[in-house]
Amino acid sequence: MLTHAVDSYLSVRRACGFQLKYPGHYLRSFAAFSDARGKSHVCSETAIEWAGVARSAAERAHRLGEVIRFTRYVRAEDPRHELPPAVFGSERRHRPVPYIFSSHDIERLVQAAYQPLYHGLRRDTHSTLFALLACTGLRVSEAINLRFDDITPDGLVILRSKFRKSRLVPLHETARTQLERYLERRRRYAPFDDHVFVSLRGTPLFLGNVERAFHAIVKKLGLPHDPGRPRATLHSLRHTFAVRALETCPDGRDRITQHMLALSTYLGHGNVAHTYWYLEATPELLRQIAERCESFVTGEQS
C-alpha cells in the first residue's frame, strides 16, 4: 500500500526539519487515488492522471513534482516504482514583484488603524501590530504568536518559526516604548491569556480577521490592492523592511557579505538566496547595483 510508503517518507523528511504540511496532504491524496485503482506501486500513468485534475498548469506541475520527489525516495529500495516524467513542465514560479511602502504610507497605515472607526482595544491592537511588522520585518504569523515571555530586555524571541528556527529580533527603544504602552491597556482585556495581541473577545488574533482589517484600510487609503500588479499586503511590510535594510548596505565586498548574512539571519530565512532575491525586487536596488558595477568597471571609487 502506497499509504505506508508515504507515511515513511514524510516521517524521514520531517525528522530532518521539514514541516511538509501541504506536500503531506498532496501525497496522501495521491496514495488514496492510487490505492483506489489497485496500484501498490507508483505508476506514471496514475500519477499524471492524479496531478492532471488540478485547475492550473502551475498546480499540476507542483502536484506531480511532489510525486516525483516521493518516487525517488521509494525507488531506492524498490525499483518497481515508476518515476513519472515532468509532463506539466517546471514547478518553478516567478515570484511576484513586491509592493514597497514609502515611510509616509506606513505612517498613514498606522494612523488609519487607530481611527475611531475601531472601538476599544481593536484600534490599539491593529495599529501596534502593523507598526511592529513595519519596524521589525517579522512574519505576520510570528507577530500574532508572540507571548509575554517572548519580550526580553534584548528584544523579541521568535521561537521555532518557519524552518523551525529560533532567533532574537532586537527592538528599537521607540518600538519597545510603544509596545509597552499597548500592553498596559491590553492586559486588562485578557488577563488570563499571555498572547501579546488579542481580539476583543480576549482570544488570540485570527490571521483572516487581521488581513480583512488591513485590506479595508489599504482600500480606504487608496493604496494598490488589485491582483496582477504589485499590491499592498501584510507581507509587504516585511518586504519593505528587507529592501530598506539592503538600501543601507555598506560598500565593500566583505562588508556586503556580512550585511547580507546578518539580514538573512535576522529575517529567519532558511537560505541566504531568499534574501538575495530582494536585490532584484525593486528598481532602486537595481539602480544601485548598476552604479556599483559601473564604478567597478571604470575603476572609480564610490
Q: Is 239 a catalytic residue?
A: no
- 215 flagged as catalytic: no
- Integer CA distances (angstroms), 127 to 10, 36, 41, 60, in order: 40, 51, 54, 40
Judge whether 209 and 199 are in contact, CB under 8 Å.
yes
Amino acid (1-letter code) at residue 118: Y
* CA–CA separation, 106 and 90 (whole Å): 37
Question: DSSP secondary structure string, 123-166?
Answer: HHHHHHHHHHHHHH---HHHHHT-BGGGEETTEEEE-S-GGG--
Task: Verify whether residue 235 is a known catalytic residue.
Answer: yes
Closest CA to 135 of 182, 183, 174: 174
**Is 238 among the residues known to form the active site?**
yes
Q: Kindly state the cell numbers that stand for 44.
A: 506514471
> Residue 127: what residue type?
S
Give, in degrees to the nearest 5, the angle at Cα 240 between 234 and 242: 115
Q: Is 278 one of the catalytic residues?
A: yes
Residue of 162, 165, 225, 244 with catalytic role: 162
Alpha-helical (H) ranges within the chain are 2-15, 21-36, 44-51, 57-75, 103-113, 121-136, 140-144, 173-186, 207-221, 234-247, 253-267, 272-276, 283-298
Out of 63, 126, 139, 195, pick the active-site residue.
139
Residue 172 known to be catalytic = no
Q: Which CA distances in Å does 262 have to 22, 36, 135, 171, 242?
A: 30, 50, 16, 16, 11
Of the residues 225, 235, 244, 274, only one is catalytic, namely 235
Which residue in the list 60, 81, 186, 238 is annotated as catalytic?
A: 238
Contact of 111 with 252, CB cutoff 8 Å: no
Catalytic residue annotation: 139, 162, 235, 238, 269, 278
